[in-house]
Amino acid sequence: MKKFYIAKSRRLRSTPYTSRIENQGLTAYTIYNHMLLPASFGNIEKEYFHLKEHVQVWDVAAERQVQITGKDAEKLVQLMTCRNLSKAKVGRCYYIPTIDEEGGMLNDPVALKLSDNKWWLSLADSDIGLYAKGIASGLSLQVEVSEPDVNILAVQGPKSFKLMEKVFGKKINELKFFGFDYYNFKGNKFLIARSGWSKQGGYEIYVENREAGQNLYDELFLAGKEFQVKPGCPNQIERIESALLSSGNDFDSCDNPYECGFDKYIDVDSNINYLGKNALIQIAKKGINRKLMGVKIDLDKIEMTEEKPLQNGKSVVGHLRSAVYSPHLKKVVGIAMINKEYWDKKTPFELEINGKKSKGSICDLPIV
Ligand code: THG
């Protein structure tokens, strides 16, 4: 694999933590919401084992917030998602598949209800702010749509609970999964949620004041010494095994939320109004012919820059969307869109890369 550098510019926005992570051994970036998102600190396999045992602090400022305020804020958020938000409560996070008028997936943000008239959508990588502005303007909604300067720090891993208690006090232990509240550190207030893009447990700190966030960052490393804290980032191995989907990788606007396994976040029966509802009603009637599943492949490395066909003889079993070598399973693991005839997981497949064929099998998500 050839290595290249990212030519930095204002357009590829830095974060308040960029100089810190670069001094701590960052080796790779990806670009997400027009912003730098750390991708590795040298060895993602070592980072995987560390994340599963200790605690990491992640610069995930690239998970940008779309802020929607005003009388019609909730109406606009509901228009963009098939999840029923009519009973949404202040202080809770909601994972909301965001779809277009044909029911195609646009994004899968975490939505935070900050007050009756104020929401944040914590985005995956696509310009939902523009979509929100378009809908608001087209329907003359009474809302303001903006991107506030919020820069999330994620604290992830089994020891995140002890570290956060040490920095923010015992009260943080009361926070339930996908709840959020405000906590103080050195006179500054931080919105903290029990969430994060790993299944190892942890928190996300929505930093609204850059300088306070940088001081907090440094404190997390000082206080975290006894818990072997390290800088980290969303880990491809952990997230694929755990079935945390990646928008743009595992799905895009050609896929509907049923195909992504988002059934529990879809409401086609209630009297709620969202774009793409009629399309989803039709899809629900007809049923789907493919869905995202796990795969295991007999390979010791893989590079994914586009989806790859999985075949059984001349038949296409499905398409591989994300994949990575798992040092735990000693195989490549992946997430693939699998055709209906193969959902019973019985049929093996072959994956051809540079003329070489490897064998693989289909499994459920998460991958164990
Ligand atoms: N946190 C925040 N913003 C984000 C992400 C995040 N924006 C980008 C990206 N991640 C969005 N995608 C996801 C995917 C999965 C989850 C969150 C965001 C997730 N899912 C849980 C699960 O699948 O088990 C819980 C879902 C639920 O119970 O509702 O956490 O990570 N701020």
Structure token digits, residue 53: 């045992």
Q: Which of 158, 148, 164, 167 is nearest to 206 (CA)?
A: 148
**CB of 94 within 8 A of CB of 122?**
no
Length of the chain, please? 368
Per-residue pLDDT at 283: 98
The pLDDT of 53-64, averaged and rounded, is 98
* Beta carbon of 95 within 6 Å of any ligand 1 atom: yes
Nearest atom, ligand 1, residue 123 CA: 7
Pocket flag, ligand 1, residue 196 (CB < 6 Å): yes
Residue 166 has a pLDDT of: 98
For position 25, what pLDDT does the model report?
Answer: 97
**Ligand 1 center–CA 63 separation, angstroms:** 10
Over the stretch 1-33, which tens digit does the pLDDT of each residue have?
Answer: 788 899 999 999 999 999 999 999 999 999 999
Q: What is the mean pLDDT of residues 107-117?
A: 98
What percent of the chain is predicted at pLDDT more than 90?
Answer: 99
Q: What was the pLDDT predicted at 155?
A: 98
For the cut 80, the answer to whether the pLDDT of residue 129 exceeds it is yes
Side-chain half-sphere exposure of 189, counting CA atoms within 13 A: 3
Determine the distance separating the centroid of ligand 1 and the alpha carbon of 359, expressed in angstroms.
31
| pLDDT, position 84 | 98
Q: For ligand 1, what atom is nearest to the CA of residue 63?
A: 7
57 membership: H or E segment, kind and range: strand 56-59
Output the pLDDT for position 1.
Answer: 73
What distance, in Å, lies between the first and last C-alpha atoms of the chain?
28
d(CA 308, CA 289): 18
As separate numbers, helices (DSSP H) first and strands (DSSP E) second, the chain gives: 8, 21
| pLDDT at residue 249 is higher than 90 | yes
Q: Is any atom of ligand 1 closer than 6 Å to the C-beta of 122?
A: yes
Q: What is the pLDDT of residue 3?
A: 85
pLDDT tens digits along 277-336 = 999 999 999 999 999 999 999 999 999 999 999 999 999 999 999 999 999 999 999 999
Neighbours of 206 (CB within 10 A): 22
Q: CB of 244 closer than 6 A to ligand 1? A: yes
How far is ligand 1, taken at its centre, from the CA of residue 96, in Å? 9
Which residues, 6 or more positions from 312, have their beta carbon under 8 angstroms from its beta carbon? 342, 347, 348, 349, 350
| Percentage helix, strand, coil for the chain under 3-state DSSP, each rounded to 5 | 25, 35, 45
What the chain holds in terms of domains, given with CATH numbers, is 18-63+150-240 (3.30.1360.120), 289-368 (2.40.30.110)
Atom of ligand 1 nearest to the CA of 246: 12
| pLDDT > 70: percent of the chain | 100
Q: How far is the CA of 234 from the centre of ligand 1 (A)?
A: 11
Take atom 9 of ligand 1 and give the residue whose Cα is closest.
124
Centroid of chain to Cα 176: 19
pLDDT band at 145 (very low <50, low <70, confident <90, very high): very high
CA–CA gap between residue 163 and residue 226 (Å, rounded): 9
Cα separation, 94 vs 105, in Å, equals: 16
Q: By the 8 A CB rule, do 150 and 213 touch? A: no
Whole-number Å distance between alpha carbons of 236 and 303: 12
